[in-house]
Structure 1
Amino acid sequence: MVTEDLAEQMNMTSQAVNCDVYEFNLANLTPIDSLKIKPKRVKESKITFECEMVHYYFLENYKNGSACIVTGRL
Protein backbone atom coordinates (compact mmCIF):
# COMPACT_ATOMS: atom_id res chain seq x y z
CA MET A 1 0.00 0.00 0.00
CA VAL A 2 1.23 3.46 -0.83
CA THR A 3 0.47 6.50 1.26
CA GLU A 4 0.57 10.01 -0.18
CA ASP A 5 4.00 10.78 1.27
CA LEU A 6 5.54 7.90 -0.76
CA ALA A 7 3.60 8.46 -4.00
CA GLU A 8 6.48 10.07 -5.90
CA GLN A 9 8.87 7.26 -4.93
CA MET A 10 6.26 4.64 -5.86
CA ASN A 11 5.91 6.24 -9.28
CA MET A 12 9.67 5.99 -9.74
CA THR A 13 9.46 2.20 -9.36
CA SER A 14 6.96 1.95 -12.24
CA GLN A 15 9.55 3.00 -14.80
CA ALA A 16 10.59 0.56 -17.51
CA VAL A 17 14.19 -0.17 -16.50
CA ASN A 18 16.75 -2.89 -17.15
CA CYS A 19 16.60 -5.97 -14.95
CA ASP A 20 19.91 -5.00 -13.32
CA VAL A 21 18.38 -1.79 -11.86
CA TYR A 22 17.47 -2.26 -8.20
CA GLU A 23 14.22 -0.33 -7.74
CA PHE A 24 14.78 0.22 -4.02
CA ASN A 25 17.91 2.21 -4.90
CA LEU A 26 16.18 3.96 -7.80
CA ALA A 27 13.45 5.26 -5.49
CA ASN A 28 15.71 5.76 -2.46
CA LEU A 29 13.69 3.29 -0.35
CA THR A 30 14.87 0.82 2.30
CA PRO A 31 14.28 -2.92 1.77
CA ILE A 32 13.57 -5.05 4.83
CA ASP A 33 12.78 -8.74 5.19
CA SER A 34 9.17 -9.83 4.94
CA LEU A 35 7.76 -12.12 7.61
CA LYS A 36 6.27 -14.91 5.48
CA ILE A 37 7.40 -14.40 1.88
CA LYS A 38 10.78 -14.01 0.12
CA PRO A 39 10.43 -10.58 -1.53
CA LYS A 40 11.51 -7.60 0.54
CA ARG A 41 9.05 -5.00 1.74
CA VAL A 42 9.45 -1.23 2.04
CA LYS A 43 10.56 -0.05 5.47
CA GLU A 44 9.14 3.45 4.92
CA SER A 45 5.65 2.09 4.16
CA LYS A 46 3.09 2.67 6.90
CA ILE A 47 0.91 -0.16 5.56
CA THR A 48 2.21 -3.61 4.63
CA PHE A 49 0.63 -6.98 4.09
CA GLU A 50 1.80 -10.28 2.69
CA CYS A 51 -0.33 -12.64 0.65
CA GLU A 52 -0.26 -15.69 -1.58
CA MET A 53 -1.05 -15.08 -5.24
CA VAL A 54 -4.33 -16.72 -6.29
CA HIS A 55 -4.52 -15.63 -9.90
CA TYR A 56 -3.49 -12.93 -12.32
CA TYR A 57 -5.36 -11.47 -15.27
CA PHE A 58 -3.81 -9.67 -18.23
CA LEU A 59 -5.88 -6.88 -19.74
CA GLU A 60 -5.13 -6.68 -23.43
CA ASN A 61 -5.76 -3.66 -25.61
CA TYR A 62 -5.04 -1.40 -22.66
CA LYS A 63 -4.28 2.21 -23.65
CA ASN A 64 -0.49 2.03 -23.23
CA GLY A 65 0.22 -1.62 -23.90
CA SER A 66 -0.98 -4.14 -21.37
CA ALA A 67 -1.85 -4.29 -17.69
CA CYS A 68 -2.12 -7.04 -15.12
CA ILE A 69 -4.48 -7.44 -12.17
CA VAL A 70 -3.29 -9.75 -9.38
CA THR A 71 -5.57 -11.28 -6.74
CA GLY A 72 -4.18 -12.69 -3.51
CA ARG A 73 -5.15 -14.45 -0.31
CA LEU A 74 -3.92 -13.36 3.12
Structure 2
Amino acid sequence: MSACPAPPSARDAALAMFATLRARAGAQGVVLRAPPPEPTACCGRGCNGCVWEAYYAAVAYWQQEALDKLHKPAAA
Protein backbone atom coordinates (compact mmCIF):
# COMPACT_ATOMS: atom_id res chain seq x y z
CA MET A 1 0.00 0.00 0.00
CA SER A 2 1.16 3.51 -0.78
CA ALA A 3 2.52 5.73 1.99
CA CYS A 4 0.65 8.71 0.53
CA PRO A 5 -2.20 10.16 2.60
CA ALA A 6 -4.86 9.01 0.14
CA PRO A 7 -6.80 6.30 1.93
CA PRO A 8 -9.65 4.90 -0.14
CA SER A 9 -12.20 6.12 2.40
CA ALA A 10 -11.04 9.75 2.05
CA ARG A 11 -11.04 9.49 -1.74
CA ASP A 12 -14.47 7.88 -1.74
CA ALA A 13 -15.79 10.55 0.63
CA ALA A 14 -14.49 13.31 -1.64
CA LEU A 15 -16.07 11.74 -4.72
CA ALA A 16 -19.38 11.25 -2.90
CA MET A 17 -19.32 14.87 -1.70
CA PHE A 18 -18.68 16.07 -5.26
CA ALA A 19 -21.65 14.06 -6.53
CA THR A 20 -23.95 15.27 -3.75
CA LEU A 21 -23.12 18.95 -4.12
CA ARG A 22 -23.25 18.81 -7.92
CA ALA A 23 -26.69 17.19 -7.72
CA ARG A 24 -27.90 19.88 -5.31
CA ALA A 25 -26.49 22.56 -7.57
CA GLY A 26 -28.23 21.07 -10.59
CA ALA A 27 -31.54 20.95 -8.74
CA GLN A 28 -31.15 24.62 -7.76
CA GLY A 29 -29.91 25.75 -11.16
CA VAL A 30 -26.55 26.76 -9.71
CA VAL A 31 -23.42 26.35 -11.83
CA LEU A 32 -20.35 25.03 -10.03
CA ARG A 33 -16.85 24.84 -11.42
CA ALA A 34 -15.43 21.37 -11.98
CA PRO A 35 -14.00 19.66 -8.90
CA PRO A 36 -10.23 19.40 -8.67
CA PRO A 37 -8.72 16.49 -10.59
CA GLU A 38 -7.10 13.66 -8.65
CA PRO A 39 -3.31 13.64 -8.64
CA THR A 40 -1.56 11.30 -11.02
CA ALA A 41 2.07 11.82 -10.00
CA CYS A 42 2.28 10.44 -6.44
CA CYS A 43 5.55 8.60 -5.87
CA GLY A 44 4.16 6.67 -2.88
CA ARG A 45 6.95 7.64 -0.49
CA GLY A 46 4.84 9.78 1.85
CA CYS A 47 6.63 13.00 0.96
CA ASN A 48 6.21 16.13 3.04
CA GLY A 49 3.92 18.16 0.79
CA CYS A 50 2.56 15.11 -1.04
CA VAL A 51 0.38 15.80 -4.06
CA TRP A 52 -2.51 14.18 -2.14
CA GLU A 53 -2.19 16.82 0.59
CA ALA A 54 -2.59 19.54 -2.03
CA TYR A 55 -5.50 17.63 -3.58
CA TYR A 56 -7.39 17.42 -0.28
CA ALA A 57 -6.75 21.11 0.35
CA ALA A 58 -8.24 21.84 -3.08
CA VAL A 59 -11.17 19.53 -2.28
CA ALA A 60 -11.88 21.47 0.92
CA TYR A 61 -11.70 24.78 -0.98
CA TRP A 62 -14.02 23.48 -3.70
CA GLN A 63 -16.49 22.24 -1.08
CA GLN A 64 -16.57 25.59 0.71
CA GLU A 65 -16.97 27.48 -2.55
CA ALA A 66 -19.82 25.15 -3.62
CA LEU A 67 -21.59 25.51 -0.27
CA ASP A 68 -21.26 29.30 -0.45
CA LYS A 69 -22.87 29.31 -3.89
CA LEU A 70 -25.63 26.94 -2.81
CA HIS A 71 -26.49 29.06 0.24
CA LYS A 72 -26.30 32.41 -1.54
CA PRO A 73 -29.72 34.09 -1.65
CA ALA A 74 -31.27 34.26 -5.10
CA ALA A 75 -30.87 37.59 -6.88
CA ALA A 76 -34.02 39.70 -6.92
Q: Scaled by the length of structure 2, what TM-score is found?
A: 0.26
Q: Which has the larger radius of gyration?
A: 2
Higher RCO (CA-CA < 8 Å; seq separation 6+): 2
Question: Which is richer in helix?
Answer: 2
Question: Which is richer in strand?
Answer: 1
Q: Scaled by the length of structure 1, what TM-score is found?
A: 0.26
